[in-house]
Amino acid sequence: MKRYRIAVQEGLDDLKKYLLSSGFEIVPSGRELQADVTIIADEDEPDEPMPSRVTYTDKLRKQRILIDASHLSNEEVVELLTMGLHRHAH
């Protein structure tokens, strides 16, 4: 199984530690373009359900996954991440 590289927005240190302890590979700051997955959180958004928290993009001809972690627990982010990677692999 491919090991996905994850970039985590600055300021999400607790999430970054949780992902590391869960076995995920975190890309250092400044190397986000090397990531397969980017996790962001826009705390200015209202606390409402979003139609999709996982977005698939094609940046620089490379498939990428963008996850919005706003108002989610670490466990919910990992669940979305796992579902997104499973979908991305097929």
- Say how far apart CA 44 and CA 65 lie, in whole Å: 21
Q: How many residues are listed for the chain in this entry? A: 90
Q: Give the structural domain span for 33.
A: 5-89
Which pLDDT score is estimated for 14?
95
pLDDT in tens, 49-87: 444 455 555 555 556 788 888 889 999 999 888 876 666
Number of H helices, E strands in the chain: 2, 5
d(CA 22, CA 27): 15
Q: For 3-48, what is each residue's pLDDT tens digit?
A: 788 999 999 999 999 999 988 999 987 887 788 888 988 766 555 5
Nearest to 28 by CA among 3, 8, 57, 2: 8
State the total domains in the chain. 1
Nearest Cα to Cα of residue 63 among 45, 38, 39, 42: 38
